[in-house]
Structure 1
Amino acid sequence: MADIEKHLKQAAMQVGAGGSAGFIEVCIMHPLDLIKTRLQLQANKSSLKSSDPHYYNGIIDCMKKMYRNEGLTSFWKGILPPILAETPKRAVKFVTFEQYKKLFLFGSSSPTPLTFALAGLGSGITEAILVNPFEVVKVTLQSNRALATEVPSTWTVTRQIVRENGLGFRGLNKGLTATIARNGIFNMVYFGFYHSVKGYLPEYEDPLLEFGRKVAIGFTSGVLGSCVNIPFDVAKSRIQGPQPIPGVIKYRSTTGAIVLVYKEEGFRALYKGLLPKVLRLGPGGAIMLVVYDYVYHFLEDKFQKKHRNL
């Protein structure tokens, strides 16, 4: 009974810490996620008019044109779906990561780098299955180039997707395999690097130096994960976003989308949106892991104090 209570308390702390970390990270870093999606959705410049106000030459150009044509609030288009998804998503990410760690110990008394990597992969796959419908709605909202005040609501877009294409792989769950590949690979690198390196680098007694250590490791983890999984992110955006010709599905499968982008637009096109992705998930990865650690330990102290007072 005591073990069950202990596990429930740990799960509650992981949910609270993960939800807090996800909410803060999304609110701060969402504009860069939107810019990343816009860059990934557009084809090569040669196929578009140079005067097109919706063609973006880079991050700064995208920000200028979005601000001029869609308004300041446009940078937070599609933020509601990730906010709604973040608490369960981060809860699943961290709770399942802890459970997968036990599964992949392979007889070792303590987790190894392989344990962290495989546990991260498992948590990413589980997380992707949960969050994919929110991703479909988010990308649909982010791809809308109307003024922010004219963009339909999250609920309206969700109903339209379900009404027109249902809940399956052409509707609210399209791009699921791409999301699984993207999240699985990212979490494998992200958790694998962070926990392995954190265990090798000595902790600092100075709170400020220790904070800097965690931020640096978290930042590097986010950057590495972003660089490795970006082709799958491009495929996901192409599959879930509006197709080039309305009514005609050009990007169907993950591998098919990657091959098609490579053939038509070249190798570099598979890394579209990498800079805003790195700018978001580098600091975003650091924010999430550091907030998670501090909130988790804060809740842990609260539980222990409460237990001692009983």
Structure 2
Amino acid sequence: MSSDKKPLPFIYQFASGAIAGVSEILVMYPLDVVKTRVQLQVGGGSAGSEAYTGMLDCFSKIIKNEGVGTLYRGISAPILMEAPKRATKFAANDEWGKFYRNLFGIEKMNQQLSILTGATAGATEAFVVVPFELVKIRVQDRASAHLYKGPLDCALKIIRNEGILSMYNGLEATLWRHIFWNAGYFGVIFKTRQLIPKSESSTQQTINDLIAGSIGGTAGTIVNTPFDVVKSRIQNTIKVEGVTPKYNWAFPSVFTVYREEGFGALYKGFMPKVLRLGPGGGILLVVFTACMDFFRTLQ
């Protein structure tokens, strides 16, 4: 993440990213369940027991009608996903950073390169996460959750009923989601670290990383939420042979949601998403940096 520190081999970057990812998901997962429920709801919602008027209403109705455990429904898929996902994010960001610095003959990272490497790392990460995201969304959705005994059963039924390639349903939308989020996240982290005072202690370093990561996570969330909304809808659509899905490709789906439900619908689930990925982005950066520093002491 920082060109001022001693670089470490890929395996240490991968391990640090994996530990950071699992730490973040254990703390923030209930917000992801709420975000997905709100995004999948077509229309404005109502006061009925089957609809949500917002984040807090969704939280309370899930707990009241389905139990607290539902807030962790489907977590095994994200847990299995988070290690390779976040590991790929940070390791790919560092490796692509080296590639672009060599390609352009630039000794140190700048904000433009941080945005470019973040976007490329996001595209790399997307290929890893799509099958896990697909299973997570199917299990989280109240309308389809009863069809599956768990994430593994969900994956097997998708493959049997829709074909193995359906596990990559929504890849294109996921690519855009991760490209925009990572470009915003790493680009803003780089700029924020330039603006805040340099740390004089490990405690101040942790605070600085928490601030930079939270701001970066918030920026990434602002720019990528419309693609996250349509990705959820695309992946929750069961493929039927001979039928063109309503939500199929990212940009046409964005226009469909905008035309039918208005601009605000493109930011459905934004509040739980930003509450998760703002502070969550801070947790990711803090844990990743701490792990990398620990591995440096072993070197």
Query: TM-score, with normalisation over the residues of structure 2?
Result: 0.91
* 1:146–1:233 Cα change, 3 Å: closer
**Residues 70 and 146 in structure 1, CA contact (< 8 A), matched pair in contact too:** no
What per-residue deviation string (whole Å, max 9, x for no partner) do you get for residues 166-215 of structure 1?
122xx111110110000111001101111232144332213333322211
Counterpart Cα distance in 1 of 2:105 and 2:140: 46
Q: How does 1:1-310 map to 2 (within 5 A)?
A: 10-45=9-44, 50=46, 52-105=48-101, 106-144=104-142, 152-168=149-165, 171-242=166-237, 249-302=245-298, 304=299
Alpha-carbon offset, residue 146 of structure 1: 8.2
Counterpart Cα distance in 1 of 2:117 and 2:20: 19
Matched to 2:105, the amino acid is G
Alpha-carbon offset, residue 91 of structure 1: 2.0
Counterpart Cα distance in 1 of 2:42 and 2:249: 18
Counterpart residue number, 1:308: none
**Residues 69 and 147 in structure 1, CA contact (< 8 A), matched pair in contact too:** no
Alpha-carbon offset, residue 163 of structure 1: 0.7
Counterpart Cα distance in 1 of 2:86 and 2:257: 31
Counterpart Cα distance in 1 of 2:128 and 2:145: 30
**Residues 30 and 79 in structure 1, CA contact (< 8 A), matched pair in contact too:** yes
**Residues 138 and 145 in structure 2, CA contact (< 8 A), matched pair in contact too:** no
Alpha-carbon offset, residue 135 of structure 1: 0.5
Matched to 2:9, the amino acid is Q
* 1:252–1:145 Cα change, 3 Å: closer
The answer to which of 215-224 and 10-19 deviates more is 10-19
Gaps of 5+ in 2: 1-5
**Residues 143 and 242 in structure 1, CA contact (< 8 A), matched pair in contact too:** no
Matched to 1:293, the amino acid is T
What per-residue deviation string (whole Å, max 9, x for no partner) do you get for residues 253-282 of structure 1?
111211110111001111111111100000
What per-residue deviation string (whole Å, max 9, x for no partner) do you get for residues 76-129 of structure 1?
112111111122222211221112112222222211111111100010000001
**Residues 148 and 154 in structure 2, CA contact (< 8 A), matched pair in contact too:** no
* 1:136–1:26 Cα change, 3 Å: same
**Residues 140 and 242 in structure 1, CA contact (< 8 A), matched pair in contact too:** no
Counterpart Cα distance in 1 of 2:196 and 2:210: 13
Matched to 1:282, the amino acid is G
RMSD: 2.1
Counterpart Cα distance in 2 of 1:100 and 1:80: 30
Matched to 1:103, the amino acid is F
Counterpart Cα distance in 2 of 1:215 and 1:13: 21
Alpha-carbon offset, residue 43 of structure 1: 1.2
What per-residue deviation string (whole Å, max 9, x for no partner) do you get for residues 263-305 of structure 1?
1100111111111110000000000011000011112202x2x
Counterpart residue number, 2:3: none
Q: How many residues align?
A: 289
Counterpart Cα distance in 2 of 1:91 and 1:155: 22
Query: TM-score, with normalisation over the residues of structure 1?
Result: 0.88
- Stretches (4+) displaced over 6 A: none
Gaps of 5+ in 1: 1-5, 305-310
Greater gyration radius? 1
